[in-house]
């Protein structure tokens, strides 16, 4: 079926090109990848579709389907009670053809090497799509920081950093905050790396405190970018923010700020969730009041003027216009996508939608703004922070936010134009543009003999 973009609809109902089969390609870590499910399989399937559109060969697919470099380390930790525990950490550099690796560090009990590989690949595409001169990287330590004291988290951070020092640095790989980490963790990483070099190296991490070379506007950059793209997509669909009801899954680093910016733009935020549950108010939630409540209570549950939903995931299926999944990957999949009513889905999280769900959304005419576009605000302002640190000259918040808006809007229009011209989904358009950019750089450099 043909879609008329001029009528404000998206090309979601068109068939994807035939993919290169996602086979059990050998990986540098020696592990057999999960070829059926999981974030790495989803990332490789998206790459495969882009390779087919670009008419590239299997060799290019194999190069881009596997990380350039990865390191797995043991992290011995002395607990506050004297016990010793050994944690496992990873750092993966997917591709560095366009510049140093760039990507977050997450602390979570669910961290796996394949997850980190997938996230690093998505970072490669994200940086290329928004024209940031980085490659993709990602890191993770498998533990729940909420179950550890702040001093124990510091010891984990410093030992992990010391173990991966050979492969990080301001011209090699630049970590940033992600799930379970924050600006203090980045400060500890920067200090540990600097101590090993004998001088202060502000550019080794981004997302740092302002006192240590952080950038104004960095803590809210991802959220603001999500809001910019969501509002642009609403305009494309000819919908007014004040006539839009939204649900936000996840009220952490990304979801909280995105909900606030949308609320400030007039969007009616009717539901939000966190790891403990979800709340709903058909008339709309006061997001600033909710932020103040969460700062005290630690959860959205029990907020005045709202009802607690019995099932946290029920938020995904509400009768809303806009859904922002801003928690973790894989929450929208083949088993639940048909229950999602939102006509616009803007991915605040990395990889929240599986390929099976994408097909369902396309068939149902629902517009999905992909993660590598929607949540790219964080890496854009991380780049700004890195530039400022290298120049030892810091910009105003207005400068940062204006430059962020310009980059996000430029990327949005570029992806939208490609999707309309080639009659493909926004995700495929974004991935094709990014893969083409990276492949051109990779092949221009040539293969080292």
CATH topology for 221-374 is Rossmann fold (3.40.50)
For residue 86, count other CB atoms closer than 10 A to its CB: 8
- Contact at 8 Å (CB) between 43 and 123? no
Taking only Cα atoms into account, the Rg of the chain, rounded to an integer number of angstroms, comes to 21
The residue from 102, 109, 126, 138 that is catalytic is: 138
Residue-wise pLDDT for 376-395, tens only, equals 999 999 999 999 988 889 99
CATH of 67-199, one of 3.40.50.10860, 1.10.3720.10, 1.10.150.20, 2.40.30.10: 3.40.50.10860
Domain chopping of the chain, boundaries: 67-199, 221-374
Residue-wise pLDDT for 133-181, tens only, equals 999 999 999 999 999 999 999 999 999 999 999 999 999 999 999 999 9
In whole angstroms, how far apart are CA 293 and each of 247, 268, 326? 18, 19, 20
Per the annotation, the verdict on 138 as an active-site residue is: yes
Residue-wise pLDDT for 174-230, tens only, equals 999 999 999 999 999 999 999 999 999 999 999 999 999 999 999 899 999 999 999
The CA distance from 328 to 118, in Å, is: 13
Within this chain, domains 67-199 and 221-374 share the same CATH topology: yes
Residue-wise pLDDT for 277-328, tens only, equals 999 999 999 999 999 999 999 999 999 989 999 888 999 999 999 999 998 8
**230 vs 22, higher pLDDT:** 230
The CA distance from 246 to 345, in Å, is: 10
pTM of the model: 0.87
């Amino acid at each position: 079926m043909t879609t008329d973009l001029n009528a404000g609809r998206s090309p979601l109902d068109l068939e994807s090109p035939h993919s290169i089969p996602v086979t059990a390609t050998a990986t540098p870590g020696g592990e057999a990848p999960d070829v059926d499910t999981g974030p790495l399989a989803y990332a490789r399937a998206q790459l495969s579709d882009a390779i087919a559109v670009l008419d590239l060969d299997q060799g290019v697919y194999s190069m881009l389907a596997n990380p350039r470099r990865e390191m797995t380390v043991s992290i011995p930790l002395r607990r506050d009670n004297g016990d010793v525990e050994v944690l496992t950490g990873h750092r993966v550099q997917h591709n560095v053809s366009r510049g140093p690796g760039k990507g977050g560090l997450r602390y979570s009990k669910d961290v796996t090497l394949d997850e980190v590989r997938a996230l690093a690949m998505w970072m490669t595409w994200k940086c290329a799509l928004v024209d940031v001169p980085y490659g993709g990287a990602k890191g993770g330590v498998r533990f729940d920081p909420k179950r550890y004291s702040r001093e124990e988290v510091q010891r984990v951070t410093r030992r992990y950093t010391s173990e991966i020092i050979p492969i990080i640095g301001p011209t090699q790989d630049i970590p940033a905050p992600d799930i379970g980490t924050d600006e203090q963790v980045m400060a500890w990483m920067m200090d540990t790396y600097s101590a090993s070099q004998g001088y202060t190296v502000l550019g080794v991490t981004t997302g740092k405190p302002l006192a240590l070379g952080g950038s104004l506007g960095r803590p809210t950059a991802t959220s603001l970018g999500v809001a910019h793209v969501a509002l642009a997509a609403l305009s494309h669909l000819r919908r007014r923010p004040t006539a839009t009801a939204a649900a936000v899954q996840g009220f952490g680093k990304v979801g909280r700020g995105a909900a606030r910016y949308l609320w400030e733009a007039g969007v009616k935020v009717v539901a939000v969730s966190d790891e403990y549950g979800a709340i709903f108010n058909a008339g709309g939630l006061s997001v600033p009041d909710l932020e103040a409540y969460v700062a005290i209570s630690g959860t959205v549950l029990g907020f005045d003027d709202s009802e607690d939903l019995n099932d946290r995931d029920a938020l995904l299926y509400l009768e809303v216009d806009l859904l922002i999944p801003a928690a973790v990957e894989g929450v929208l999949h083949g088993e639940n996508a048909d229950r999602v009513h939102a006509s616009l889905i803007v991915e605040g999280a990395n990889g929240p939608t599986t390929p099976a769900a994408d097909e369902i959304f396309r068939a149902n005419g629902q517009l999905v703004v992909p993660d590598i576009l929607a949540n790219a605000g964080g890496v854009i302002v991380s780049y700004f922070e890195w530039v400022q640190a290298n120049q030892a000259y810091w910009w105003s918040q207005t400068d940062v936010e204006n430059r962020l808006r310009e980059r996000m809007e430029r990327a949005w229009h570029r992806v939208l134009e490609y999707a309309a011209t080639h009659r493909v989904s926004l995700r495929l358009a974004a991935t094709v543009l990014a893969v083409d950019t990276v492949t051109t750089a990779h092949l221009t450099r040539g293969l080292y003999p």
